[in-house]
Chain A
């Protein structure tokens, strides 16, 4: 039986993925290699941060603890964030960023598709909207992965390096915590095991056109779902939380 705490905590972990990845994408604003990407990066970031806000707000209602979405986003310590490690990795070059976004979007698309039959009406509503938004991310990033993988010697090499660096982090997307399992059993949230084939299909289809190999994962990189993060995460938080830490309670 899923308790409200199970449900809230699972939503917060998912929201953390969205917030942190949204923050990473927003770091490209003004630095992207071309104007189109200077528009697309913040737009994708906006989608993710908007989805994070929905999830945080709903988790706060479920918790009934009086915490707000801002408290969750800005006022927790690193150990309290439960995002997977992949989303906090440094942006690296453009190939890294685009590939990571593809990995994540290819996971979230079947997730939101499945979440539309959740027993919880609020989740259904969020899922209907988010599924369509994330479809654009797959398309946009997929096109780039193909363009770079099937591009010049240099771009293909960078794409391959990105795959080698990031692929070991993809396992953690499918980690099912005990709280999440309770939500699956209660019909509230999708069973992540059932999403794997859709994810693999999307990635292998795009990789085939991009002349990229899917590597074996010898050492899966995980820990974020338990609150164990990489060194880069502290640096990320110091930027993300700066305003609320320096000026507590400040509002727009």
Chain B
């Protein structure tokens, strides 16, 4: 009994680590775990069940992400099932500190802390340049290359950069 439980725990931990390592297809410097879009992985009746949540309602990467997680689990020898979780909704606050640091190192300014739509409506936020850390930056475009990013430019080092929007 004890060893059966231990084996279950071991398999569960292994499934979690396999799924956690999957990279985001649009922002491949961070994993789905870094972004906080992998909610959990459990072994239920021998099947690895991964719960994944979308970032944006219209995020075209959702299917790709679900498929990538499923494939990673299958490759690791699991039977796998993906469940899409809607509530509680993902916000950028789910991104881990390690994930934020990886974004910055990749050249994407991480989102401001504590998202609220009131900020998006009325607040002007200060975005630090991911390269030189200058706060002397300005917004070029509210919308960028993917749904989750806006475009900024640094007035000191002159580099344009992506900002991971705070939602």
Contact = CB atoms under 8 A, between A and B. Distances in A.
A136 B149 CA distance: 12
A78 interface: no
B77 interface: no
Interface of A: 35-36, 39-40, 43-44, 46-51, 53-54, 109, 121-122, 124-126, 128-136, 138-140
Contacts of A47: 56-58, 147
B64 to A, nearest CB: 12
Contact of A132 (B54, B60, B141, B167): B167
Given A43-B143, A124-B87, A135 B57 contact: no
A131 B57 contact: no
B5 interface: no
A39 B87 contact: no
Nearest to A35: B141
B143 A140 contact: yes
B121 to A, nearest CB: 5
Interface residues of A, dominant DSSP: helix
B59 interface: yes
Cβ-closest 6 pairs across A and B: A50-B58, A125-B87, A125-B86, A128-B89, A50-B57, A135-B117
B86 to A, nearest CB: 3
Given A54-B57, A139-B120, A129 B143 contact: no
B142 A133 contact: no
A124 B60 CA distance: 22
A49 B117 contact: no
Interface size class of B (residues with CB under 8 A): 20 to 34
A200 to B, nearest CB: 16
B87 A135 contact: no
B160 to A, nearest CB: 12
B57 A122 contact: no
A133 B165 CA distance: 10
Contact of B115 (A40, A44, A132): A132
A46 B90 contact: no
Given A43-B147, A47-B58, A36 B141 contact: yes
Interface residues of B, dominant DSSP: loop
B19 to A, nearest CB: 22
Nearest to A116: B89
12 contacts: A40-B143, A47-B58, A48-B58, A50-B59, A109-B121, A125-B87, A126-B86, A128-B87, A129-B56, A133-B58, A133-B167, A136-B165
A138 B121 contact: yes
Contacts of B98: none
Contacts of A51: 57-58
Given A129-B89, A136-B120, 16 more contacts: A36-B140, A40-B141, A47-B56, A47-B57, A50-B58, A50-B59, A51-B57, A125-B87, A125-B88, A126-B57, A129-B57, A132-B120, A135-B118, A136-B142, A138-B121, A140-B142
B144 interface: yes
Contacts of A36: 140-143
Interface in B72-124: 86-91, 115-118, 120-121
A48 B56 CA distance: 11
A51 B144 CA distance: 19
A44 B57 CA distance: 11
Given A43-B147, A122-B86, A125-B88, A133 B57 contact: yes
Interface string B60-75: 1000000000000000
B114 to A, nearest CB: 12
Contacts of B90: 129
Contacts of B140: 36
